[in-house]
Chain A
Amino acid sequence: MSKIIDVTMPSLGADMTEGTLVEWQAKPGDTLNKGDIIALLETQKGMIDMEVYQQGVITELLLEPVVSVPVGTVMARMSVAGEAARPAAPEASYPVAQAAAIKSPPVTSDQSQQTVIPQPNRPRQGLLASPVVRKLAAEQQLDLSRLSGSGPEGAILLRDLPANGPEANAAGSPDPAQAMRSAIAAAMAKSKREIPHYYLSLEIDITRAQRWLADFNAERGPEERILLLALLLKAVARSLHKYPALNGYYQQQTFTPNSAIHIGNVISLREGGLVVPAIHDVDQLSVEEIMVRLRDMSERSRRGVLRSSELLDASITVSNMGERGSDLLFGVIYPPQVAIIGIGKPRKTMLIKDDQPELAEVVTVSLAADHRVSDGMTGARFLNALANKLQKPEKL
């Protein structure tokens, strides 16, 4: 027994309203497993590999790339096993997508008909470009055939266009940096409007952690070294077990703790803006494995291709500014999460231990958390637990 399900344009954040199908990565008749990639999308958050959320066979592809459609638009259909059939798009563990899907206008038949009409004005055969790119190119009188595209089969993407002049911005053109800035602004404004934040910080002695890292890295080449962040993430994940009120999602006046610990990592992009892909089940990974994920993620963020699940389901966020950052970071919670941890820059200082001054290396870790879900004492206990974990780096 099998049944047909819809595969829809996913929402990769409460602020995303539409996405562009750049290319199908599968065809009718293909069997896909959960997590396989069905399409390449271009969104405000950059290029995304869109995954499917259950196993099945593609029966129909309903859109012809390159086309922009609202979140929730049916893009394809799949035949899945009947008994196990669940909703096509992100299930219960992906609340961000659900929240946004509810918020976004329902797709009427009129709209969906519009969206499947192929772009009428393809300038010439073999030249691929998204509608946004075509619109901008027309406004700026650019000859697309003279640009080289960095997308699949040379498709011209927003990032391939020359920087927009001030005229273009004045005319309200959606240049990519501005699109990402708007997306960040929408999420952060919602957070500041709705979430009663409280803020705490604790100076944590990382002398032992740094010594452990120096020992670990001493004999290793750069491709095998571990950064302090990997150790910190592991310590955060392990400390969170006892503080479920900091790890989960607040939606429709209800907090739901998440049993899994998916940590979103703030990655600043060179061209401005940021993305926050998640590492899944951080508490289950070794420090080395966390470092492998971090490397992979930073490389893919730079090339601009992240996976849809990475942007969907972080249950808490860590923002690490590193050595070039500030001493203390006051985070803004990314809804529907309920906490964000900020890591300041490591610095050397004198600590008093057993009434004796001692040279030590410290980092100030901050917590911004949601007062609808937890109180300051909970947050403070969490920070102290984290500090304790970091005194035994070899056990992480």
Chain B
Amino acid sequence: MNRDELQQAVIEAIQVVAPEIEGDEIDADEALREECDLDSMDYLHFLAALKQSTAINVPDADYGRVDTLNKLLDYLQQAGSQ
């Protein structure tokens, strides 16, 4: 998946828990959970949906590395290329 496709997958996974969020509303350099108002349960549902569509598992220990949309996309690109 290229970055645009990954971004599309991320937005769709967010919309599973937060249907009202539009992709262009998210500031890609701000805290993603704040931007999308995701509590910890929402965040787990989001990561599960993302894992389904991209086959990439973001482990618990890496939460700090994916806390903005841009950082998450970097992470997914890197994980996808391995």
Contact = CB atoms under 8 A, between A and B. Distances in A.
A214 B48 contact: no
A214 B51 CA distance: 19
B81 interface: no
Q: Is the interface of A mostly helix, strand, loop or mixed?
A: helix
B34 A324 contact: yes
Given A222-B48, A225-B44, A299-B45, A268 B39 contact: yes
Majority DSSP secondary structure for residues of B touching A: helix
Given A222-B58, A228-B40, 5 more contacts: A221-B48, A222-B57, A294-B41, A295-B41, A299-B45
Interface string B26-51: 00000001100101111011011011
Contacts of A324: 33-34, 39
A349 interface: no
Given A214-B60, A270-B18, A302-B17, A221 B41 contact: no
A323 B51 contact: no
A355 B18 CA distance: 47
A270 B40 contact: no
Given A223-B48, A324-B34, A270 B20 contact: yes
Chain B interface residue bracket vs A = 20 to 34
Contact of A227 (B18, B44, B48): B44
The CB with the most chain B CB atoms within 10 A, among A222, A223, A228, is that of A222
B36 to A, nearest CB: 10
Q: Among B34, B50, B59, find the residue whose CB has the most chain A CB atoms closer than 10 A.
A: B59
Q: Chain A contact residues (Cβ within 8 angstroms of B): what range?
A: 20 to 34
A295 B37 contact: no
Contacts of B37: 270
Nearest to B57: A221
A298 B16 CA distance: 13
A298 B42 CA distance: 8
Interface of B: 17-18, 20, 33-34, 37, 39-42, 44-45, 47-48, 50-51, 57-61
A171 to B, nearest CB: 26
A217 interface: yes
Contacts of A221: 48, 51, 57
A227 B59 contact: no
A324 B31 CA distance: 12
A218 interface: yes
A322 interface: yes
A162 to B, nearest CB: 13
A222 B44 contact: yes
B64 to A, nearest CB: 12
B45 A218 contact: no
Nearest to A301: B41
Given A222-B47, A270-B18, A270-B20, A322 B40 contact: yes
B7 to A, nearest CB: 19
Contacts of A214: 60-61
Nearest to A221: B57
21 contacts: A214-B60, A218-B59, A218-B61, A221-B57, A222-B44, A222-B48, A222-B50, A222-B51, A222-B57, A223-B44, A223-B48, A223-B51, A227-B41, A227-B44, A228-B40, A229-B40, A294-B41, A295-B41, A298-B45, A299-B45, A324-B33
Contacts of B39: 268, 322, 324
